[in-house]
């Protein structure tokens, strides 16, 4: 029996792509994944993930990696959950080796709904098991998670070579926010590597506009100058 795991990396960042990976293995190779130490990618160092990347793909019967650009994410129709289900299905439908069972990391608060919507978009018959934190529950999803994370990290490194220090791309990263503020101050707009519509961008834009309106120390505001 063929088993697939599917997961994403980079759903929440304001900078860079989202990467979706589907990995298919024969069920007899599941213990081999576990022997490799495959687990939730967030609990592994980047060095360990890089090492596991090639080992996972060498065990896989098939795999698909989708790199979804910031532009694709920004111009999506519908919610991010709908976008994710749509592209999970796209990755799975692109597989040459069709799995009998698919384990998916559910983005929706309702696991069963996520599973139903994913199954409805498949071009082949398969059992779909969608769970929260599936990357910590099923080694085949952990494998997909690792491949997705390594791929996104490599994409971020490419962007750093072009733009300098951009941090991780996550809104909570001070380096990312500092880069976005500096870039906006210099260019009057955000770089093409951001996801338009993210609240982080709106907050930075509003913050910088407020600062620009404030008069410098000893300088009259427009209202004071006009006597209003």
What is d(CA 32, CA 69) in angstroms, rounded to the nearest whole number? Answer: 33
Average pLDDT of the chain to the nearest whole number: 92
pLDDT (mean) for 54-63: 97
pLDDT (mean) for 152-163: 97
What is d(CA 107, CA 130) in angstroms, rounded to the nearest whole number? Answer: 9
Nearest alpha-carbon partner for 22 in 70, 86, 94: 94
Confidence of residue 63 (pLDDT cuts 50, 70, 90): very high
What is d(CA 43, CA 23) in angstroms, rounded to the nearest whole number? Answer: 19
Confidence of residue 226 (pLDDT cuts 50, 70, 90): very low
CATH number of 161-213: 1.10.10.460
Domain 2-160 in this protein, CATH class: alpha beta
Return the domain boundaries, the chain.
2-160, 161-213
- For the chain, the C-alpha Rg in angstroms (whole number) is 22
Confidence of residue 123 (pLDDT cuts 50, 70, 90): very high
Distances (CA, A) of 177 to 149, 167, 182, 190, 212: 21, 8, 9, 11, 18
pLDDT score at 227: 43
Nearest alpha-carbon partner for 21 in 113, 112, 168, 134: 134
pLDDT (mean) for 153-181: 96
Structure confidence by residue, pLDDT tens digits, 171-202: 999 999 999 999 999 999 999 999 998 999 99
pLDDT score at 39: 85
Question: Does the pTM exceed 0.85?
Answer: yes
Confidence of residue 216 (pLDDT cuts 50, 70, 90): low
What is d(CA 8, CA 113) in angstroms, rounded to the nearest whole number? Answer: 18
**Helical pair 80-93 and 111-120, crossing angle rounded to 10 deg:** 50
144 close to 170: Cβ distance less than 8 angstroms: no
pLDDT score at 207: 86
């Amino acid at each position: 029996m063929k088993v697939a795991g599917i997961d994403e990396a980079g759903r929440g960042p304001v900078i860079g792509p989202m990467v979706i990976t589907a990995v298919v293995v024969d069920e007899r190779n599941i213990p081999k994944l576990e022997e490799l130490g495959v687990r939730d990618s967030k609990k592994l160092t980047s060095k360990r993930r890089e090492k596991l990347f090639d080992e996972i793909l060498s065990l896989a019967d098939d795999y698909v990696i989708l790199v979804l650009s910031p532009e694709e994410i920004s111009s999506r129709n519908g919610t991010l959950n709908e976008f994710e289900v749509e592209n999970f299905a796209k990755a799975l439908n692109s597989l040459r080796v069709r799995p009998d069972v698919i384990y998916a990391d559910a983005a929706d608060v309702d696991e069963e709904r996520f599973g139903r919507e994913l199954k409805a978009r498949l071009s082949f018959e398969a059992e779909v098991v969608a769970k929260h934190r599936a990357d910590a529950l099923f080694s085949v999803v952990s494998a997909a998670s690792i491949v997705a994370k390594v791929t996104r990290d490599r994409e971020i490194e490419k962007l750093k070579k072009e733009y300098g220090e951009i941090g991780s791309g996550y809104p909570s990263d001070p380096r990312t926010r500092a880069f976005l503020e500096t870039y906006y101050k210099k260019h009057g707009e955000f770089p093409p590597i951001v996801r338009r519509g993210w609240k982080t961008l709106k907050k930075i834009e509003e913050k910088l506009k407020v600062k620009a309106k404030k008069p410098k120390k000893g300088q009259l505001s427009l209202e004071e100058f006009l006597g209003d």
